[in-house]
Structure 1
Amino acid sequence: MIITRHFIRVGERMVHYRKAGSGPILVMVHQSPRSSAEYEPLMEKWAPHFTCIAPDTPGFGQSQPLPGDPDIEDFARAVHALLDALGIEKCAAYGFHSGAIILMTALKQQPDRFTRVAMGGYAVWTRQEMALFGDAYLPPFHPSEYGEHLTWLWNRILEQSWFFPWFATDEAHRLGVAHADPARVDAVVREMLDAGNAYQAGYGAVLRAPRDIPPPGAAMPPCLITAYDGDPLQEHIDRLGDMPAGWEARKVATPDEHQRASLDHLLAGDHPQMGALPEAEDEGFAAIEADGFDGLVHWRGDRAAHTLLLHEPGRALASDPGPNTLRVDLPGHGLSDDWTGEAPKDWGSWAAVIAAIEDRFGIEHTAIPAPPSGDPARLYPDLAPDRFGAYLTTAWQVVRARHFFEPWYEADAAHARAFDPADLAPERLAAEHRDLLRARSARAYHQALLDKDS
């Protein structure tokens, strides 16, 4: 099952979403501080039944944040604004944990908009629990000059599976789902790095949201709320109280049982069909197939541009492409997919992909960068997630050193380079850091550039 990615302008904001499947629309609202990426396995399961639309909520993933100090009503209105922009008048919906809080609020705002709703857990905190959360649960998250924020982030995400809340490190708050899986921690860490301090607004709005279920007499579409063993919200099923007609809440044993019950509930409804959905004119993803690559390439700029600008190895497309130009993330960089197999080191394979992009957009000229100086094997260290999160600080040290020396690993006077102190601002380094972490094929791209010039 192919999952595609898209951008759509919603008012002044750019919103990113994933799409898969066919048939009636199912909008899927993710939990905080995640992104729509967490729904990819579930989208593959449910795509035979629905056109699954999973947006990044405001400030998370690749969606721009809401202005000011938004509350839960604003995040729920953002769901309706997205549906309006996509031309979706009525649909089914699914939300998990904090995604369920957003969805519940959207449901109360416009109940006639949804045919059926399924939720994975719904938090109803006691006053004592809310007092425990306080300000400690959502501390500010800003990049620091030397990358200290990365050590905190790794441990905060890792220990969230050990204790809930993560800072309550005592036996009373131990979880039965503890793990030390670097790949699972890395997935959430990357989403926190994308969100930055915007996570406070989104997560904070959810925590401050009122927990009022619609009253029993309210006219609402059918809704099913389930929570599985090991989910901290399972005990909250007993706190929901009386609900509207057609609503049900129950405990289940496993995540698979929760997903099956949710799907069965959603399939029991009568949902309208939808045609093609609109997309943004100045940013998106193009499906490219050429010589070992078969995937999505992220692009930004002028669709009708005649000039394509390529980034260096280990980098990504510029935030402002400039007039009459198009930029792309090459395979294994930025938001683009990676190569189908091992990234090729010969220029011919990369040139074939670039030619396919040129054909797709009608490009007449492509500006190809010169390879950076240095040994590719040393310029791009292994940044695979490790048990202790050391890869995060390794990458941070690389992006700092790149401003002082060329190549960065030759830290001596003979290799010193001029630099602008403004480029060392932590926010700027954080953007470079994210690019380097995503640059899975940087070494191969660099070697291909050398092959081209040999």
Structure 2
Amino acid sequence: MTVTRHVVDVRNADGSRRRVQYRRAGSGPPVLLIHQSPRSSAEYLHLLDDWAADFTCFAPDTPGFGDSAPLPMAQPHVDDFADAVLAFMDALGLASAGAYGTHSGAITLITAAKRAPQRFSAIAANGYAVWTDAERTDFGSNYTPPFAPTAYGEHLAWLWHRIREQSWFFPWYATDDNHRLPRAHDNPHVIHATVLDVMAAGTSYGPGYAAMLQAPRDLPAPGAPTPPVMIMGRNGDPLQAHIDRLGPLPTGWQAHKLATDAEVEAAARGWLLRYPAPGDAVVTAPEDEGFVEVPGFGQLHWLGDPEAEILLLHAPGGAAELVARPRALTLDLPGHGLSDSPAEPPIALDSIVDVLVAAAARWPVTRIEGQGASARLAAMLANRLGLTHDPSPALRHGGWPDLTPDRHGSHLARAWSLARAEVCFAPWDAATAANARHFDPAELAPHRLHRRALAALRARHVPELLALIGD
């Protein structure tokens, strides 16, 4: 089943607008999938695929996580995240839906259901936290230290070990035998996925995560209206023990300790099938960002003015957000940014240009501009479309570092080294006086380097693309 990506603008409580990225799959009764912190909706790709046969699934990146904009307040409360779920439903035109959430996603949904019970046909919660006062005090002091980019990338070394060790100890900073977890691992690909999500969240990571760690037990009062709710916890999850902290449950609620993630997900699926919600989504998409469907490939992400004359192609290993400018349209290349990636490395430039042609033909562009090594792609695309292209200065492009995740996180240091060197030299991997690049010192601002490193880490098949482009 195809999982597609979308954007929608939602209205905050103060009347401002906020951009939300979300994934969608399937057909049938609407179901929301609310991820845990500090992840994104990417953690539900397997569920979107599995549940698409039974439901129309909507999995948003929650505020400040993934690629969704943060809430407008500096220190949001769990109530604010709950209201954001309701606002997302409003933006989709959903009067009601079933919902599934993991950890902080479960907390958010149960809070939302207490605030607006009529909006949910049923909720399945995988790990609902009932913190003690002592735990909230401890977490408030230690769990979410400030996370901000540093000039030389030290924050990424901290981040790698922070995420790796959260499978070793709970809380992650309680590094002693009494706090060990039973499913410790150092799988670099699992760690890397969470690290990328935290990098995408950036400075929103701390406040958003902290809101869930301070959340109270927020179950409906006896006799209060409530949708049916099933709370579950699997073996090895620290929150399984919190089922014993729940206390008396409202009528129509259940709580179960299960063995595996598969058992939890199967029980959740059955619960939501038992209480289907009516209705279809009716969405008004933003005018300055979206995803274009390319038959036989997937989706390309675009930014900017869809009526612009100029189409910008970022350099290999980059992203549309890094080159976006007024009165222009820009795409994430295949395998870059938020665009889908080809299953296999490209073996010919024509295969990439075919995808770009199918996308670009939908807009009234008259000129193509390629950044860096993408100048050749721009020329090929312009030729295929019968347009003009703006040639870039003849600059040698550099090679590409090995950014394959390893158990030590050393690939993060290589991505940061690339980001800094690109500002100072052209090509980046030839640091000589002859290759010095004139630059604005603002280009070395840590937050800009952070987004550049994230783009590099997200990119796929870059060495193969550069080899096809040639010098």
TM-score normalised according to structure 2 size = 0.91
Q: SS at 1:115's partner residue?
A: strand
CA deviation after TM superposition for structure 1 residue 362, in Å:
4.1
Residues 116-173 of structure 1, C-alpha deviations (whole Å, 9 max, x = no match): 1110011111233233323210000011111111110000000000000101011111
Q: Residue 433 of structure 2 is aligned with which of 402, 413, 429?
A: 413
Do residues 246 (structure 1) and 252 (structure 2) align? yes
- Structure 1 Cα separation of the partners of residues 62 and 412 of structure 2: 25
Q: Residue 52 of structure 1 is aligned with which of 52, 57, 60?
A: 57
Do residues 330 (structure 1) and 308 (structure 2) align? no
CA deviation after TM superposition for structure 1 residue 370, in Å:
4.5
Residues 193-229 of structure 1, C-alpha deviations (whole Å, 9 max, x = no match): 0111211121111111221321232221111001011
Partner of 1:71: 77
- Structure 1 Cα separation of the partners of residues 147 and 223 of structure 2: 43
In structure 2, the CA distance between the partners of 1:396 and 1:22, relative to structure 1 (3 Å rule), is: same
CA deviation after TM superposition for structure 1 residue 323, in Å:
4.2
Q: Residue 161 of structure 2 is aligned with which of 151, 155, 161?
A: 155
- Structure 1 Cα separation of the partners of residues 71 and 285 of structure 2: 20
In structure 2, the CA distance between the partners of 1:320 and 1:82, relative to structure 1 (3 Å rule), is: farther
Partner of 1:176: 182
Q: Residue 31 of structure 1 is aligned with which of 36, 40, 56?
A: 36
Residues 419-442 of structure 1, C-alpha deviations (whole Å, 9 max, x = no match): 222211111111111111122233
Alpha carbons 1:215, 1:243 under 8 Å: kept: no
- Structure 2 Cα separation of the partners of residues 222 and 121 of structure 1: 16
Q: Residue 286 of structure 1 is aligned with which of 274, 287, 292?
A: 292
RMSD, aligned CA: 1.7
In structure 2, the CA distance between the partners of 1:25 and 1:193, relative to structure 1 (3 Å rule), is: same
Do residues 341 (structure 1) and 361 (structure 2) align? no
Length, aligned pairs only: 445
The answer to which of 230-239 and 441-450 deviates more is: 441-450
Partner of 1:438: 458
Alpha carbons 1:215, 1:242 under 8 Å: kept: no
Alpha carbons 1:23, 1:273 under 8 Å: kept: no
Partner of 1:404: 424
In structure 2, the CA distance between the partners of 1:241 and 1:269, relative to structure 1 (3 Å rule), is: same
Alignment of 1:35-434 (within 5 A): 35-68=40-73, 69-289=75-295, 294-318=297-321, 321-344=324-347, 346-371=348-373, 373-374=395-396, 379-434=399-454
Q: SS at 2:142's partner residue?
A: coil
In structure 2, the CA distance between the partners of 1:262 and 1:101, relative to structure 1 (3 Å rule), is: same
Q: SS at 1:77's partner residue?
A: helix
CA deviation after TM superposition for structure 1 residue 322, in Å:
3.8
- Structure 2 Cα separation of the partners of residues 271 and 397 of structure 1: 50
AA matched with 1:350 = I
The answer to which of 70-79 and 440-449 deviates more is: 440-449
AA matched with 2:458 = R
AA matched with 1:153 = L
CA deviation after TM superposition for structure 1 residue 80, in Å:
0.8
Q: SS at 1:6's partner residue?
A: strand
AA matched with 1:310 = L
CA deviation after TM superposition for structure 1 residue 184, in Å:
0.2
CA deviation after TM superposition for structure 1 residue 243, in Å:
1.4
Q: SS at 1:436's partner residue?
A: helix
Residues 358-392 of structure 1, C-alpha deviations (whole Å, 9 max, x = no match): 2233433322335284465xx21110100100000
Q: SS at 2:167's partner residue?
A: coil
Q: SS at 2:321's partner residue?
A: coil
- Structure 1 Cα separation of the partners of residues 323 and 352 of structure 2: 24
Q: SS at 2:423's partner residue?
A: coil
Q: SS at 1:383's partner residue?
A: coil
Q: SS at 1:102's partner residue?
A: helix
- Structure 1 Cα separation of the partners of residues 95 and 433 of structure 2: 64
- Structure 2 Cα separation of the partners of residues 444 and 362 of structure 1: 31
Alpha carbons 2:169, 2:181 under 8 Å: kept: yes
- Percentage identity across aligned positions? 49
TM-score normalised according to structure 1 size = 0.94
- Structure 2 Cα separation of the partners of residues 36 and 127 of structure 1: 30
Alpha carbons 1:224, 1:265 under 8 Å: kept: yes
- Structure 2 Cα separation of the partners of residues 296 and 212 of structure 1: 40
In structure 2, the CA distance between the partners of 1:23 and 1:279, relative to structure 1 (3 Å rule), is: same
Alpha carbons 1:31, 1:97 under 8 Å: kept: yes
Residues 84-110 of structure 1, C-alpha deviations (whole Å, 9 max, x = no match): 111111111111101111111111110
Q: Residue 23 of structure 2 is aligned with which of 1, 5, 18?
A: 18
The answer to which of 162-171 and 438-447 deviates more is: 438-447
Partner of 1:8: 8
- Structure 2 Cα separation of the partners of residues 100 and 146 of structure 1: 37
In structure 2, the CA distance between the partners of 1:408 and 1:325, relative to structure 1 (3 Å rule), is: closer
Q: Unpaired runs of 5+ in structure 1? A: none
Alpha carbons 2:140, 2:210 under 8 Å: kept: no
Q: SS at 1:175's partner residue?
A: coil
CA deviation after TM superposition for structure 1 residue 62, in Å:
0.5
Residues 220-264 of structure 1, C-alpha deviations (whole Å, 9 max, x = no match): 111100101101001110110111111001101111111111111
CA deviation after TM superposition for structure 1 residue 325, in Å:
2.3
- Structure 2 Cα separation of the partners of residues 225 and 429 of structure 1: 42
- Structure 2 Cα separation of the partners of residues 393 and 137 of structure 1: 24
Q: SS at 2:223's partner residue?
A: coil
Alpha carbons 2:98, 2:276 under 8 Å: kept: no
AA matched with 2:42 = A
The answer to which of 218-227 and 299-308 deviates more is: 299-308
AA matched with 1:368 = G
